[in-house]
Amino acid sequence: MSFTSIQFLVLTALAFAAYHLRPTPRWQNGVCVIASYSFYGWWDVRFCGLLLASSLIDYWVGGRIAATDQPRSRRAWLVFSLVTNLGLLGFFKYFNFFIDSLVIALALAGLNINISTLVILLPVGISFYTFQTLSYCIDIYRREFEPRRDLLSYLSFVSFFPQLVAGPIERASNLLPQFRKARTLRLDDAVSGCQLVLWGFFKKLAVADNLALVVDPAYTSPSNATPGHLLLATFCFAFQIYCDFSGYSDIATGVARWFGIRLQRNFALPYFSTSLAEFWRRWHISLSTWFRDYVFIPLGGSRCERPQRLRNLAATFLLSGLWHGAAWTFVLWGGLHALCLIPSQWNRSPRGSSAPGDAKPCADARSICRVAATFALVCVAWVLFRVDSLTEAALIYRRIAFGLVGAGLPTELATTIQTWPAAFAVLGILLVIEWNTRARWNPFEGLRWPRPVRWVAYTALFWLTLYLCPAKVEPFIYFQF
Amino acid sequence: MKEFLSRVLAFALIQLALFGLVVARFDPARSDHYLAATHDKHRRLAATVAPRVILVGGSNVAFGFHSDRIESALDMPVVNMALAGGVGLSLMLREVEDEVHAGDIVVFSIEYDLFGGGCNRALIRQLIAQHPASVQYLKPDLLLRTASENGLALISEIVRASLGAGYRPDRDSEPVSSRAIRRGFNQQGDFVAHYGEPSLLPATAPPTPVEQKVKRGWLMKTAVERELERFVELARAKGARVLYSFPPRPPVTYANEKATTVLIHAQLQTIPGLELLDAPGDQVYPLTQFYDSEYHLTGDGSAVRTGKLIRSIQEQTLRDAAK
């Protein structure tokens, strides 16, 4: 059930009506769980069983960890949770990848064996909700969160439908307390929710799906695309994936606000970052902080000697790459980011992590140069994220590199822009709006215009989105993870 | 809560009013979209008197015939109703079944994947936006799925069609190049804008191994079989004939698909009352006679195919007369 479907609109409307009928935690959580499992079951009803099983196991394990003070017992229960969650993820997402990789590795060693792969259906959102329930158990183990015997709240926390299939990956300390009390609809939350939903749909439908029209032909057949088209397609893909994913997050966050729930911010204008380190404080914040808190820091983080620091960095980013997909291209994408972050970690003195990336990006010339350089670096890595194979990536890098010094580049760029003028025009609109409203979460936040003027702005954005929405709306990119 | 709901209601009413104003501008005569040609086809179908030859199918039929030559040879007016295979076989048959009369000859030819029940819901949404009356030809479950799974895209199509938009975001995913426009069709409904143009396909197809694996997804599903039987029975009850001709394919593609098309041929032979004009192997043409896809013939290719169709119909008619 996509956010762009009428079924989702109907489900949300019904859930909203039922939810606010009786503002008591039990009633509201009950409505949440029913709506969330209906939403999830729409993809495949079998997935509901898996979600429920995963949720119940970690609810029980969390209780067992909290019930004992014995370090060994607590650790044993935590390991049980880790093995279960990662085992589920490993089987559904990585089984065939590991088998294929093993066969290739053995073949390189001269051993040709035949191991059958399985036809495994990847449950939507499994990467997100397993990490969410894992963090619940880890936080209890670390005594950073105190569980309560309240299964309904917990199930609501895990399955909350706006963020179930593609995040943000929420922490129990942020979300569970909200589910434990009655929620009433505040006007400012309702309005900001509508603003986020509108902005999210604009980014997804008007920007991301139109940029896909530039990207797909080039990346489907890179040997036939001109270097100029490939270069612009890579640039467009950077914004396609940003608008697709942040658009989804905005819609999820906006819908959550209609239910009186505050989700964490997941994107903070990452392409205005002046360094790669800052980029990772602004991009997919819920996932990058998850890896920081549960992988990087437990390994030692930055508070160790240089070799360990670099090892920790590499491990974190390689795992992050692997999380995105069962393919070596994703692992290499993570590895490339780790490589580019080495200079910032090389001479770093062991101290705490930097502040979150929600500071307003600067507009001076030096900052703008650094923004451009960081963006270029990120685009180079995005090629690995988009392609199906390393061979394809090598071809694209080669063609772009030679094209950059080719005489035909200006013509190729002009031709590409002229073929899809609307895609580039709407991208320009997005950049202008986001730059000028970069201090806010969404462009309408805190807007002090009179209501009629605001409504004209909302109407203009709504109709622009409607007009530019392609006939074939692409599924959200991060649903495949 | 009350204030929020009243604001949402007010905003929604304003947008609905704007939507009404926009949709009121919809004028099918203005649209130059490829799929808007269906207005002209339906108008011709309603205006021509039986007996006629009615061509039905996907774009292989739109690009596949010189209807004026069929008219001369058979002395019957021709209406080419074909647009694009993506609309699905069910819609193709349902949009002509009420207009079939005694003496009509319905010739249909569909792209192979349609036997498996395939259709392109994005294309159907575009068709509804260009020709809202097409909704009546959709089966209820397909209509529901088309409208609900991407309601926004449908509304968007309607808005663009109403504004007579030159912007077509899916321009490059349309059946052919930028020539795929309403003006590209002739009076009978044949797509002719590309006549005189050479093939856009690679001059020499790379040699590919002949693959004998059957494409199970192409084999005729029970629902499709029932749809065909229903149409043939209905048409014959009205005194019309229903003929099937296989779509054109280049030699290598035909060889690769042979294992599947042989089975489809056998399946079609079990449809009572359906007259098969040819076999898949009779519709193999050199790659140079295909325009921009392996279903779309050039002007020369469609002339050859038209000749074959005329001869087949004439021979079939003689055989039936002899019985």
Asked which of A60-74, A178-192, A347-361, B3-17 is least confident by mean pLDDT, the reply is: A347-361
Tens of pLDDT along A87-128? Answer: 988 888 887 777 777 777 877 777 777 666 666 677 788 889
Q: How high is the pLDDT of residue A63?
A: 94
Q: How far is A464 from chain B (nearest CA, A)?
A: 10
Distance CA A351, CA A348 (A): 8
- A444 by Cβ neighbours in 10 Å (0-12 / 13-18 / 19+) ranks as buried
Neighbours of A324 (CB within 10 A): 19
Q: How high is the pLDDT of residue A252?
A: 95
B contact set with A (CB within 8 A): 1, 3-4, 7-8, 11, 14-15, 18, 122-123, 125-126, 147-153, 155-157, 159-160, 163, 165, 167, 169-170, 172-173
Q: How high is the pLDDT of residue B280?
A: 95
Helix (H) or strand (E) holding B263: helix B251-268
Distance CA A396, CA A235 (A): 13
A209 contacts in B (CB within 8 Å)? 169
> Cβ of A468 under 8 Å from any chain B Cβ?
yes
Tens of pLDDT along A148-202? Answer: 889 999 999 999 999 998 889 999 999 999 999 999 889 999 999 999 999 999 9
List active site positions of A: 324
Tokens of A321: 């790459």
| pTM of the complete model | 0.82
Beta carbons of A4 and B160 less than 8 Å apart: no
Q: How high is the pLDDT of residue A96?
A: 77
Beta carbons of B160 and A467 less than 8 Å apart: yes
B254 vs A345, residue with greater confidence: B254
Q: How high is the pLDDT of residue A259?
A: 95
Confidence band (pLDDT; 50, 70, 90) for A326?
confident
The DSSP annotation for B12-33 comes to HHHHHHHHHHHHHT--TTT--B
The fraction of chain B above a pLDDT of 90, given in percent, is: 58
> Cβ of A223 under 8 Å from any chain B Cβ?
no
The fraction of chain A above a pLDDT of 70, given in percent, is: 93
B209 vs B160, residue with greater confidence: B160
Q: What is the mean pLDDT of chain A?
A: 88
Calculate the CA A220 to chain-centre distance. Answer: 24
Beta carbons of B150 and A463 less than 8 Å apart: no
Look at the block and give the residue holding tokens 């980014």.
A203
C-alpha to C-alpha distances, A51 to A45, A334, B107, nearest whole angstrom: 10, 28, 52
HSE-up of residue A315 (Cα within 13 Å, Cβ side): 17
The number of C-beta contacts closer than 8 angstroms across A and B is: 86
ipTM of the complex: 0.82
B12 contacts in A (CB within 8 Å)? none
Tens of pLDDT along B192-250? Answer: 998 888 888 876 655 565 667 788 888 888 889 999 999 999 999 999 999 999 999 99
Q: How high is the pLDDT of residue B283?
A: 96
- Residue of A337, A317, A318, A15 lying closest to A164 (CA atoms): A15
Confidence band (pLDDT; 50, 70, 90) for A307?
confident
A184 contacts in B (CB within 8 Å)? 1
Chain A nearest-CA residue for B163 = A467
Q: How far is A56 from chain B (nearest CA, A)?
A: 32
Q: How far is A42 from chain B (nearest CA, A)?
A: 12
Q: How high is the pLDDT of residue B159?
A: 86
Whether residue A212 is predicted with pLDDT greater than 90 in this model: the reply is yes
Q: How high is the pLDDT of residue B218?
A: 85
Q: What is the mean pLDDT of residues B167-194?
A: 71
- Nearest CB neighbour to A5, from listed B1, B123, B149: B149
